Amino acid sequence: MGTSNFQTAFLHFVDFSQFNNWNVKQYVNTNLLKSNFKIEFLAEHLIEQNNKIKPFDFPEKDFAILGVDNKVGIFDAYISKGKEINQPYKKMETGFIAYNPYRINVGSIGLKTEKHQHQYISPAYVVFSCQTTLLPEYLFLVFKTNFYNRIIRENTTGSVRQNLSFDNLIKMQIPLPDINTQKALAQAYQDKMAKADELEKQANQIDSDIEQYLFEQLGIEIQQTQKVQTGKLQFVNFRDLNLWGVVSQDAITAETIFKSNQFKNKPITNFFEINPTTQIPSNQIISFIPMANVSDIYGEISIYDKQTLKPNYTKFKENDLIWAKITPCMENGKSAIASNLENGFGFGSTEFHVLRAKNKDFSIHLLHSLLRTSHLRKIATQYFTGSAGQQRVPKSFLKALTLPVLNLEIQTKILTYIQTQKQQQKDSLATASAYRIEALMEFEKAIFK
């Protein structure tokens, strides 16, 4: 009796002729791959690409380097001089696929397309192309499915760091419809992804539309920072110094950022406290909001954790505004109104400034919208203090801001518009995310049983 098909609930036998290596994973779940299409080995359809160039032979030439991650796949990473690269790099052509052999099991694989401008990639990556029988776009999508990721994991080797060599890759199988069907499946995926891209584009435009509407309604004229002249010695009167820094002398003063030409203006300190003292009862469970729990997309707290107060954190209370002061969180717009806090209090990163309403004359929600504008954040970078990588916007910058004096009716009108637009943005992004998930699920369902 042949042993190749003999199987019990406990033992699985493999013919010695089919034994490639001492890796048990490859010989279990061998019937995992099922499809209405024919199943073929990748060895029949892939070509390894090892065309390399030695950048160090061209020390002053620029080399455009590609990278690969598990989110976007292939991306244009950086440009480096040949003298800064000490090993041969592989050349990538459009349609080539590259993957990190140690991270392909978490999706670190990418397809070079016409949109990628860079050409070279580290020799640490496995690079290959497809025969005319296999569409690169189709194969890339197969690799990105959750189902096939299980197949990949079954074929990785290594005692400490699991990896997938090209030799092991070509021993794997895939469902392979005819080339026209491959194109149709890939196109159906791309069509749905295009819908998601369009929705995301529309959603991103909403932030710009809100900012324009906000400044128009408040009568605020957007000032442009003057370009710094170089190559000339310039003198500044001491009384005209804004900050201690050469570039800072051309910065727009904080007092004028939100200065209205339509309404009266008053210092922000007439309406808000900045970094006020907060007394929190001891041993009380309250909300813990680290920086990671604040969405830079929506400007709201995305995750609420609960803890007792720990020392050396920033404290705040219900309806305070928390605003990231450190780079790059400030530039990205990490800020939120602290609402729905456990027992009315919270604490979080020391990299938050806290603003608290003194009265009801100016809505803290409207202030939040102003502090999230790209105009404010761009100017704030010119007031950074500290060393590179640890630069922060000082309290003095916020304290110097002025705000227009508005009646309640105007504030309500503006906030109603902003809230409507933000909800539309959130709905569009949610739909776009659903399209992306559906696109891959529908592809997966079409090729696997």
Q: At what angle do helices 408-447 and 364-371 cross, to 10 degrees?
A: 60
Q: What is the pLDDT of residues 362-381, one digit of tens each?
A: 999 999 999 999 999 999 99
- Note whether 175 and 111 are within 8 A (CB): no
CATH of the domain at 368: 3.90.220.20
Residue pair 395/314 in contact (Cβ under 8 Å)? The answer is no
pLDDT of 248 reads: 47
10 Å CB burial of residue 88 (0-12, 13-18, 19+) is middle
Q: Is 333 left (phi over 0), alpha (psi -120 to 50) or beta?
A: left
20 assigned to some structural domain? no
Show which of 148, 176, 204 is a domain's final residue.
Answer: 176
- 257 and 367 share one domain: yes
- Indicate if 365 and 255 belong to the same structural domain: yes
Contact 7, 30 (CB under 8 A): no
Tell me the three state secondary structure of residue 212.
helix
Do 385 and 263 sit in the same domain of this protein? Answer: yes
Q: Looking at the structure, do residues 253 and 402 belong to the same domain, yes or no?
A: yes
Residue 146 and residue 38 in one domain: yes
In a domain, 393, yes or no: yes
**Same domain assignment for residues 260 and 161:** no
3-state class of 301 per DSSP? strand
pLDDT for 408 beyond 50: yes
* 265 part of a folded domain: yes
Question: Is residue 117 exposed (0-12), middle (13-18) or buried (19+ Cβ within 10 Å)?
Answer: exposed
Considering the domain architecture, whether residues 253 and 389 belong to the same structural domain is answered as: yes
Distance CA 255, CA 401 (A): 5
Number of domains the chain contains: 2
What is the arithmetic mean of pLDDT over 191-203?
Answer: 97
Q: Is residue 283 part of a domain?
A: yes
343-358: pLDDT as tens digits: 999 999 999 999 999 9
Do 254 and 401 lie in one domain? The reply is yes
Confidence (pLDDT) at 242: 52
Q: Is 271 found in the same domain as 403?
A: yes
Give the range of the structural domain holding residue 166, as residue numbers without chain letter: 25-176
- Report yes or no on 357 lying in a domain: yes
Q: Looking at 191-239, which runs of residues are DSSP E strands?
A: none
pTM above 0.75, yes or no: yes
- Asked whether residue 148 falls in the same domain as residue 288, the answer is no
The reply to whether 152 falls in a domain is yes
- Pairwise CA distance, residues 325 & 285, whole Å: 26
CA dist., res. 212 & res. 190, Å (int)? 33
What is the predicted pLDDT for the residue at 246? 46
For residue 234, pLDDT beyond 70 = no
**285 and 150, same structural domain?**
no
Let me know whether 154 and 69 are in one domain.
yes
State which H helix or E strand residue 345 sits in. Answer: strand 345-348
Instruction: State which H helix or E strand residue 110 sits in.
Output: strand 109-111
What's the pLDDT at 5?
A: 47
Average pLDDT, the chain: 90
- Residue 389 located in a structural domain: yes
How much is the pLDDT for 25?
54
